[in-house]
Amino acid sequence: MSSIANDHDVISSLPDTVLCHILSFIPTTEAVATSVLSKRWTHLWRSVPSLNICDVNLDDLEDYCRFNDFVYSVLLARNNTSIKSSIFNIWYDDPHLGRLGFPNVIKWINSIVQRGLERLEMCVGMVEDNLQLPISILSCRTLVVLDVSGFTVKGFSSVRLPSLKILRVQDSIFLNARDLLLLLTGCPILEDLYACNLQSQSEDSLSYQECESLSLSKLIKAQMPHTFCHFPLKALRNVNELCIEINKVYRCFDEIPTFHNLTKSKLHSINYNWNLLVQVLNHCPNLQHIELSQGTDYGGGKRDNDQENWVDPISVPQCISLHLKTCTLWYFRGQQGELQLAKYILNHARVLQTMKICCRDSLKKERELSLCSKVSPTCELIFHVFRFHKEESLSD
Amino acid sequence: MAQEASSSTSSKTISLKTGDGEIFEIEASAAKQMKTVQRLIDDLGDDITIPLHNVFSKELPKIIEYYKKDITGEITKDFEAEFVKDLNDDEVKVLFLAANYLDANKLFEFLSQNIADRLESKSVEYVRKYFGVENDFTPEEESKLREERAWSFRGIKEDE
C-alpha cells in the first residue's frame, strides 16, 4: 500500500477546521475564491479565522468602490468564528480616496478588535500625509502581536494592551516623547519591542516622574534604531538585547540602570560622548557582543561634543575584561578618539574573538591598529571596507 | 512479554514502525512533541515499538529531523526555509498530513503556513487538484459564483 494511493481519501477527509487553518494564512480574496472549488467549499471561507487585506493599491474610484464593497461583504457574510489574526496593507494613491476610504478602515478595525483579535499587522498609507492609527487598537485586551507602520499615533489618553507580547512600530510620528511612553505603559507583559524611525513632533524632554513611570519588567529585546526622542533607559533594564541611539535618547542626569541580562547590544549615535559610553559599559556587566557607531551613517555626522578626546577609564569595565567576545565599530572615520577606543578594547578585552571595523575608504589606520597589541590571543581584527557600491573584507 | 517498569532517562529512545514496516528511533523528548505518539506510549508503554499505520518511511525521517532540531531549540527561519526548499508541493502535503495525524503542533503550524504560501495566487484548478476536490458545480453555477465574487479572482491565475 503506497502512501500516494491513500492521499486523496485522507486529504478530502480533513476536517473543515484544518482547511480553514490553512486558508487563514492567505489573502482573504483568495480564501473567498475557494468557494468555487466545490459545494463543500462554498461556505468554508466564512469560518476562516483571519481577515487579510493584502497589497491593495487604490488609485481610481471604481476600484475603490469595489474594494470597499468586498470588505463589507466579507465582514457581513462571515459567521461567528472570531477573527484571530488580521493584516491590513492598503495604499491610497490619491489623497481624496484616502480621506474618503480610511473611515471605513477604522470601522473594520473597530469591529474586529472587539472579537478576540490576537495578531494585527497594519500598514495603511496615502500620498501626502500619514493617516492616524485607529485608537480602538490600543484597548484590545486579546492582542498578542501588533505590527504597525507609517501612522501618526495621537488622540489617545490611555492604552490597555494586557496581552501584548510583541510590539513593532515603524516610520511613525508621535506628538511627543510622553505619548510613546504612554503607549508602552499600557503593555505590561511586553517581551519584544521594535521601535524604528519614530519621530516626535515636539523636542520636549520627559519629566523625572514620567521616566520613573515606565517599567517593562518582562521585556527581553528592545530595538529602537533611528528613534531619537528622549527615552528612559531605566525602563529597559531587564533586556537581553538592546539597540538604541544612545546619546540622543539619554538626557543629562537620567539614571543609567545596571543591565544585568544584557549580552548583545548596539549603541548608535554615540556622537563622541566617550564619558557616556564608558558609563553605559560600566552598567553592562555581562555584555558579550557589541556594535558601536558615532552617528547613523557614513555621512558627516554632526558632532554634539566637539571632538572630546578619549580618556582611559579609571578601571576597566567588567564586560570588556571578562566577557566581550565580539566588537564591531560602524561608520569608522579614523578620528583620534575612535582609534583610541579601538586600541583600548584590543588592549583590555581578554576573551575577544573578533574586532570588526567598518569604514568607508581604506584608511592608513589599518596598519596602526593591526600593529597594536591585543591582549586576547585568539582575537581576529577584520576591516570591512565599503567602496561606494563595492564591499571588501580585509582580514588581519 | 512482561513489561518491566523502566526508569525514564533523558536519553531514552522510542521505536516507531511506519505503515510500510520500517523502524525508526526517536528521542523520548521528541516523541513528547507528537501527541499521538505520546498517547500510544502512555497506552502501550515505551518499550514496545509504536505502530504508525498512516505514516510512511518516506516522510518520517524528515519529521524526526525537524524535532531533533526542535528539542535543542535550534529551529530558526533559515532552518525552516532550508527544510522545505527542495520539497515539491506533493511532498509538503504528505508531510502535512503526517504532522496532522501525529498531532505534532509545531510542524503542523509551520507546514500550514508553507502550504498557504505555495497555494497563493495559484489557479482554481490547481488548488482543486492539490486538495483532491471533485468539482460538483455545473459550469453555469460556477460562473455565477465567480461573477458574484469578482473582486476575489483578480489576483488569481487563469486555469490552464
A10 interfaces chain B, CB cutoff of 8 Å: yes
At A222, list the grid cell. Answer: 528592545
Domain total for chain A? 1
What does DSSP assign to residue B5? -
Q: Does the residue A341 lie in any domain?
A: yes
In a domain, A304, yes or no: yes
Nearest neighbour of B94 by CB, restricted to A3, A26, A29: A3
At A343 the pLDDT is 93
Q: Is A356 within the bounds of a domain?
A: yes
Distance from CA of A343 to the nearest CA of B (A): 36
What does the pLDDT look like over A162-178, one tens digit per residue?
999 999 999 999 999 99
Among A residues 205-234, those touching chain B with beta carbons less than 8 Å apart: none
Whether residue A76 is contained in a domain is answered as no
pLDDT class of B2 with cuts at 50, 70, 90 = very low
The answer to whether A25 contacts B149, with C-beta atoms less than 8 Å apart, is: no
Q: Which pTM was predicted?
A: 0.88
Give the bridge partners for A391, in sequence order. A386
In a domain, A369, yes or no: yes
Cell of A331: 561608520
Q: pLDDT averaged over chain A? A: 90
- For the stretch A73-91, pLDDT in tens is 999 999 888 999 999 999 9
Domain encompassing residue A301:
295-396
CB contact, 8 Å: B94 with chain A?
yes
pLDDT, tens only, B88-126: 888 898 899 999 999 999 999 999 999 999 888 888 888
**Residue A325 maps to a domain:** yes
Residue-wise pLDDT for A51-72, tens only, equals: 999 999 998 999 899 999 999 9
Of A1, A29, A69, nearest to B155 by CB-CB distance is A29
| pLDDT class of A2 with cuts at 50, 70, 90 | very low
Inter-chain CB proximity B58 and A3 less than 8 Å: yes
CA distance linking residue A154 with residue A151, whole number of Å: 9
Residue A336 lies in a domain: yes
Rounded CA gap, A42 and A21, in Å?
16
**pLDDT digit string (tens) for A316-351?**
999 999 999 999 999 888 888 888 999 999 999 999
Percent of chain A with pLDDT over 70: 92
Distance from CA of B2 to the nearest CA of A (A): 32
- Segment A379-392 mean pLDDT: 75
Which of A22, A42, A44, A51 to mutate against chain B (most B CBs within 10 Å)?
A22
Q: Is A35 touching B (CB cutoff 8 A)?
A: yes
Report whether pLDDT(B5) > 80.
no
Answer whether residue A304 shows pLDDT above 70. no
Amino acid letter, residue A123: C
Say what the pLDDT of residue B9 is: 47
Is A14 a residue whose pLDDT tops 90?
no
The answer, yes or no, to whether residue A299 has pLDDT greater than 90, is no
What confidence score (pLDDT) does residue A128 get?
Answer: 87
A251 within a domain of the structure (yes/no) = no
**Mean pLDDT confidence for A99-108:** 96
